């Protein structure tokens, strides 16, 4: 499985995506690699090609982007067998945003 993110030049952002991939591995019966639509490597199409050359029977992309659009489109066109929908408008995303809002207000 490939966790596909938008990408960033910020190393802290890339580390967060790697952390998300490690957490995702706890819930899926497969190793999870990371790939990016822009600004970082490996790029999503390259990760798909690498998975195929390594013998993957099916290549699955889990979108780590919030909404349909440019970055989700790159993942959709990368040649994977399955591509998940973006994270929003799932109500759980709104719940996380609300939790962060309350924490920020409480912090002052």
pLDDT value at residue 83? 98
Confidence band for 14, pLDDT divided at 50, 70 and 90:
very high
Rg (CA), the chain: 15
Q: Distance between CA atoms of 38 and 7, rounded to whole angstroms? A: 5
Q: Tell how many helices (H) and how many strands (E) occur in the chain.
A: 4, 4
pLDDT value at residue 27? 97
The pLDDT tens digits for 24-74 are 999 999 999 999 999 999 999 999 999 999 999 999 999 999 999 999 999
Instruction: Kindly report the pTM of this predicted structure.
Output: 0.93
Is 97 in contact with 77 (CB distance < 8 Å)?
no
């Amino acid at each position: 499985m490939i966790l596909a993110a938008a990408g960033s030049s910020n190393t802290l952002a890339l580390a967060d995506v790697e952390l998300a991939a490690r957490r995702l591995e706890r819930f899926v019966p497969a190793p999870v690699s990371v790939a990016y639509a822009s600004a970082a490597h490996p790029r999503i199409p390259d990760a798909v090609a690498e998975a195929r050359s390594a013998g993957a029977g099916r290549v699955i992309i889990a979108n780590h982007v919030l909404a349909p659009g440019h970055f989700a489109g790159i993942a959709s066109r990368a040649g994977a067998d399955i591509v998940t929908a973006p994270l929003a408008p799932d109500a759980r995303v709104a719940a996380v945003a609300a939790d962060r809002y309350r924490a920020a207000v409480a912090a002052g």
